[in-house]
Amino acid sequence: MMRYLTAGESHGSQLTVIIDGLPSHLPFSKEKINFQLQRRQKGYGRGRRMQIENDEVQIVSGVRFGKTTGAPVTLVIENKDWKHWKKIMSAEPDPEDEEKRRIARPRPGHADLNGALKYDHRDMRNVLERSSARETAARVAVGAVARLILESCQIRVAGHVLRIGEVEAQRLDGLSMEEIIQRSEESPVRCLDKKAAEEMMKLIDWAKKEGDSLGGIVEVMVEGVPVGLGSHVQWDRKLDGRIAQAVLSINAFKGVEFGIGFEAGKRVGSKVHDEIAWSKERGFYRLSNRLGGFEGGMTTGEPIVVRGVMKPIPTLYKPLKSVDIDRKEEFEASIERSDSCAVPAASVVMENVVAWEIAKALLEKFPADTMDELLEQVHRYRERVLNF
């Protein structure tokens, strides 16, 4: 079973990822991983940190001559800003400097206060460094590796922005995955609707001027997924539930839905469920995809459609009120460097988080030590399902 761990702080020397359970002989592309990392750094409304970092991955273990060996793969992403933080983030004891640089003012909307109370930290930098969205760079690298597996099995992932603040894009039905990917990449806010994209950028400019921030909604689609990934037999094997948990674990994400999502609560059943059809060429398929590619916790074979809502980033240049943990006096919360809007970047993060869950479920359904075994099993299964 595939699994991974990440380690590292926002202003530490590096982010580290260890991925276990990858099949051997998976063609490993450093360029494709770096491409995903660079996509994460783009987007209208990003802050100054993106001008400092130029994320690239270093492959430390588990890959030889361009292919995985079956051993754990270790990836490292250097934090270039570390050179300015060596003293602040030093691993060596320094009582004088430690007290001088202590953060005692928790920021509303962050993990600062909760983490300080839980882990008994009088210096909340011990919390905010790890809880920072900088860690999503590591998760994007993990998702990029998962995409290598999915691409080998003809499974494609795409994402785009549906809403930023009050500006909502019109749905453009009928676009192919290639068109969605192309339009999303061409847009500074990863929005398929050009008119809405212009309004989104104007709104971001306004929020930046006001010292405020904006959230939004992103959508991810996965095409080519075989029917039957996940399972109905236990709650924790339902794949839509696992994807939902993964999406909500992204920093600042507060909601998730599949297909028509919460709209299903307004409709009658005949306008919600996807009717079943059959043809010799396609086998069983659905006449609609209102449930977003899932029934009973399992994939239906239709494209997976999942949306996530991201709250506005809580680090504001218009700071909110807080309370100093030492003096118990009211203060304006301290400001760390931040974005006005990270929704376009969050779209990339969500793509890769979803990609990991799909790849993990694929290898649970088709356990394989080598890529040849995986591809053979997937092909044989698809043939069986088609002729069922």
How do residues 174-202 score in pLDDT, each as one tens digit? 899 999 999 999 999 999 999 999 999 99
Alpha helices per DSSP H over 211-238: none
First to last CA, the chain: 28
> What does the block give as tokens for 230?
């996940």
pLDDT at 335 over 70: no
| CA 162/CA 219 separation, integer angstroms | 7
Residues 6+ apart with CB under 8 A from 376: none
Q: What is the CATH number of the domain that holds 25?
A: 3.60.150.10
CA 16, 315, 49, 187 dihedral sign is positive
Average pLDDT, the chain: 94
Q: What is the pLDDT of residues 247-289, one digit of tens each?
A: 999 999 999 999 999 999 999 999 999 999 999 999 999 999 9
Q: Which among 208, 234, 226, 211 is positioned nearest to 319, based on CA atoms?
A: 211
Predicted pLDDT of residue 333: 65
Residue 52 confidence class, pLDDT cut points 50, 70, 90 = low
- Name the burial class of residue 69, with classes exposed (0-12), middle (13-18) and buried (19+) by CB atoms within 10 angstroms of its CB: middle
pLDDT, mean of residues 84-89: 90
Other beta carbons within 10 angstroms of residue 34's beta carbon come to 17
Distance between CA atoms of 246 and 253, rounded to whole angstroms? 10
Q: Which domain holds residue 365?
A: 3-386
Express each pLDDT in 101-139 by its tens digit: 889 989 899 999 999 999 999 999 999 999 999 999 999
Q: Angle, to 10 degrees, between the axis of helix 371-386 and the axis of helix 136-152?
A: 60
Interval 150-162 mean pLDDT: 98
Q: Are 200 and 142 in contact (CB under 8 A)?
A: no
For residue 151, give the nearest of 348, 324, 355 by alpha carbon: 355
Task: Name the pLDDT band for 332 (thresholds 50, 70, 90).
Answer: confident
pLDDT higher than 90, residue 313: no
Distance CA 143, CA 356 (A): 5
Q: Is the dihedral of CA 311, 313, 314, 319 positive or negative?
A: negative
- The candidate with the shortest Cα–Cα distance to 143, out of 357, 310, 364, 304, is 357
Element spanning 351, H or E: helix 343-365
Residue 52 CB coordination number (10 Å): 12
| Structure tokens that stand for 348 in this block | 């990339």
Query: Contact, 34 vs 55, CB < 8 A?
Result: yes
Structural domains of the chain, count: 1
**What is the C-alpha to C-alpha distance for residues 48 and 213, in angstroms, rounded to an integer?**
15
